[in-house]
Amino acid sequence: MKKALSLLTVSAMAVSMLAGCGSSKPAETTAAATTAAAAETTAAATEAASEAATEAAAAATDADLSDKKVGVCIYQFSDNFMTLFRNELQNYLVSLGFKAENIEIMDGANDQATQTNQIQNFITKGVDCLIINPVNSSSAATITDMVTAANIPLVYINREPDAQEEQRWADENMKVCYVGCDARQSGTMQGEIIADLENHGDINGDGKVSYIMIEGDPENVDAQYRTEFSVKALKDAGIEVEQLDDQVGNWDQAQAQSLVANSLAQHGKDIEVVFCNNDAMALGALQAIEAAGETVGTDVYLVGVDALQEACDNVKAGKQTGTVFNDHISQSHSAADAAVKYITGGDNEHYIGCDYVKVTSDNVDDVLASLG
């Protein structure tokens, strides 16, 4: 497959990749171990492993999938990362034998009521499986009950329901699972990118790292964990921290630009690090930083998550300190593989996990090559 570095993570979990991303929830995956494994992975090895995973998935069943219907609900099409995800998901489902006309993907427009209506319509149509990226993770129990009552298997993606809901799937033996990465790991990696700098993020040399945090949707577990664990990684490294500002940017570039501009106006050069829960907001933060006449790497450090193409270009150019690769390829493939298992009468683990990968100037060229 072409986008092989998608699978810098493959060497760290080659066996589990053949069945998806992994079969159980990671306890406390160490970011350092993941990065070390990624560094040892050659492009040839990752391509071979990725192709093997695809072949294994395709060979997992001899069933004819051409008449099977899959409904996909995405929380919001305008989200950069979910655009990558849904396009890869569509292409991979077709490669597994689904007809394109039998794969229907809906835009929830970031409105739970809209998405709930879409789910109800899919149930009425009698789809064979639903893949759902919920607008609100807190609505998972209601969605689960609605879908399972119709005897339709369900694969959640990207936005993880809470632990109590996931336990319910196991307790009641539901055909429901979640595919995604552990957001604690992505936050940890953001903090480690700063801690690994020569000055550990302390630009002004006052013995502490003064930062601002730009959060995504505060209800989203990814936003919560990235916010918490990015700072925790600095503290765990023995670095003193000072929070100057914490604002909600709702994953949006324009909102982040405005919020960071306001913070810079208030705190100026006291800000040493800008943490953003995703790269879209990091792009907005960069606009504000440059408009204020400051330079990333000299006056301030900037980190995001997702490894969007533009963010990686900025890392390469020195305009973003780092990002974290949110592997949309292995996640979307594992979601599709889980759907196939359900459709063909099989079962899945209720949690199917993937790993993130740190992206800095040291490996950004490899990441960019994989995205091309």
Residue 243 above 70 pLDDT? yes
- Does some domain include residue 199? yes
- Does some domain include residue 155? no
Residue 296: C-alpha distances to residues 202, 230, 270, 272, 317 (Å): 13, 18, 14, 10, 10
User: What are residue 242's DSSP bridge partners?
Assistant: 210
Residue 38 above 80 pLDDT? no
pLDDT, average across residues 56-63? 55
- Does some domain include residue 104? no
Cα–Cα dist 39/251, whole Å: 29
Contact present, 190 and 184 (Cβ < 8 Å): no
3-state secondary structure of 129: strand
Provide the pLDDT for residue 19: 36
- Does some domain include residue 124? no
List pLDDT tens digits, range 219-233: 888 999 999 999 999
- Does some domain include residue 98? no
Contact present, 312 and 323 (Cβ < 8 Å): yes
- Does some domain include residue 123? no
pLDDT, average across residues 140-161? 97
The boundaries of the domain holding residue 199 are: 184-325
- Does some domain include residue 198? yes
- Number of domains into which the chain is organized: 1
Cα–Cα dist 360/225, whole Å: 21
pLDDT, average across residues 317-345? 97
Closest of 6, 63, 75, 37 to residue 333, by C-alpha: 6
What CATH number is associated with residue 196? 3.40.50.2300
- Does some domain include residue 307? yes
List pLDDT tens digits, range 73-125: 999 999 989 999 999 999 999 999 999 999 999 999 999 999 999 999 999 99
Residue 346 above 90 pLDDT? yes
Provide the pLDDT for residue 22: 55
pLDDT, average across residues 276-298? 98
